[in-house]
Amino acid sequence: MNPLDVLRFGWGALSGHRLRTGLSVGGVAVGIAAVVALTALGEGARRYVVQEFTSLGSNLLIVIPGKVETTGTLPFGGVVHDLTVADARAIAQRLPEIVRTAPVAVATDLVQYRDRGRSVPILGTTGAYQFVRQVRVAAGRFLPPGSAQHGGSGIVLGPKVAAELFRGDNPLGKIVRVGPYRFRVIGVMAPKGRSLGFDFDDLVFIPVGTAMRIFNRSSLFRILCEVRTASDLGRAKRRVLSLLRERHRVDDVTVITQDAVLSAFSSILSALTLALVAIASVSLTVAGVGIMNVMLVSVTERRREIGLLKAVGATNGQVLVAFLTEATILSTAGGLAGLGLGLAAVRIFVHLYPGFPASPPAWSLAAALGTAVLVGTVFGVVPARRATRLDPVSALTGR
């Protein structure tokens, strides 16, 4: 039997039992489609997180008041010293690795224009925030770059806040109130959408010195530090910690690097993706058992045909290859159908949720198809070996 005869033998057997063949192919296809879809979701989650943290800005350090881990120097935890605007200024002036710093204070209050008002998150910061977080101004200007401690009465509105308060009127130069305090609108932000839980279109910005005073804050929420190059991140982190330890006389801050957070999330989500693939692969095992059962039935039904093949000189190896080819055709067809089904499901999902970058990596497609072929081959071995053990005379007589 040449390779073409083997293919004809396998295809003829499968085409003669279309329902049984279709069910076996369908079982493999469902398993492969599940692998493709779940891999795409896991990879999409990883890409989404990477995009979110990339949108924070490049080469970013985030200084947070308080120590994450309990150490011998802080037996009872807690924040010993406030994180201040002076700390942010010292970091920018004394550390050459730091390009600029943006102190951030956060509060929520009622912003009013005439008889219209709404409660929104308010960020107190400086002009450096625009460059550290890479945000754009659509009209007017951002906060001035002067000293953070001098404060000021300028306010920059998010586009959603400006639209709801002014309803199409030009807000620049208008007076709005934040609680009982008056501010003059100096700018309107360009639309940015949500990032890490914040809706930037629904924020307002005021000078950090003013925010600390009117909201009675003593400690900053964060200090954002832009590092000169990515290679300086590790050294900059160590020097920021050393500087604040010198200023506060104790380790009472946490410094997070953007790349460390990204690496941690990527590792977690990659492990989650592999776990999802492993779960989905269980259905492939079930499909493989189905293929084995189909092939066992096929061997029983085709005893005379196997006996004839042996009678005319076919070797046990050729019979084995013939039945393994039949199982491989089943699994390969199921794998290809599953790839198409899985990709179609991912495309529909992305169409419904365009903000989620679900896309199966190339390795998962190759691995899914390879696994399907392997499953068919492995589970086809038992029926194929049973076929080789048949005695030609007994098989021809149907016994």
What's the pLDDT tens digit per position in 174-197?
999 998 899 999 999 998 877 655
Residues in contact with 348: Cβ distance below 8 Å, sequence separation at least 6, in sequence order:
none
Are 48 and 137 contained in the same domain? no
The confidence score (pLDDT) of residue 71 equals 45
The confidence score (pLDDT) of residue 364 equals 78
The confidence score (pLDDT) of residue 73 equals 44
Rounded Cα–Cα distance for residues 387 and 377 (Å): 15
Rounded Cα–Cα distance for residues 377 and 8 (Å): 18
Range of the domain at 219: 81-249
pLDDT along the chain (399 residues), means of 10: 55 61 78 84 77 66 76 46 89 91 93 91 92 90 75 90 91 92 94 74 92 90 89 89 91 80 68 72 71 67 62 65 76 86 90 83 82 77 65 56
With respect to residue 62, please indicate whether it lies within any of the assigned structural domains.
no
Dihedral angle, C-alpha 119, 124, 128, 131, nearest 10 °: -20
With respect to residue 158, please indicate whether it lies within any of the assigned structural domains.
yes
Are 272 and 241 contained in the same domain? no
With respect to residue 67, please indicate whether it lies within any of the assigned structural domains.
no
Are 231 and 114 contained in the same domain? yes
With respect to residue 279, please indicate whether it lies within any of the assigned structural domains.
yes
Are 293 and 201 contained in the same domain? no
Are 97 and 232 contained in the same domain? yes
Helices (H), the chain: 3-15, 18-54, 85-94, 129-132, 159-166, 208-214, 233-248, 258-301, 303-311, 316-352, 362-388, 392-396
Rounded Cα–Cα distance for residues 132 and 58 (Å): 8
Are 168 and 236 contained in the same domain? yes
The confidence score (pLDDT) of residue 74 equals 43
Are 284 and 242 contained in the same domain? no
Among 191, 221, 249, where does a domain finish? 249
What is this structure's pTM? 0.61
What is the DSSP code (8-state) at residue 200? G
Are 45 and 131 contained in the same domain? no
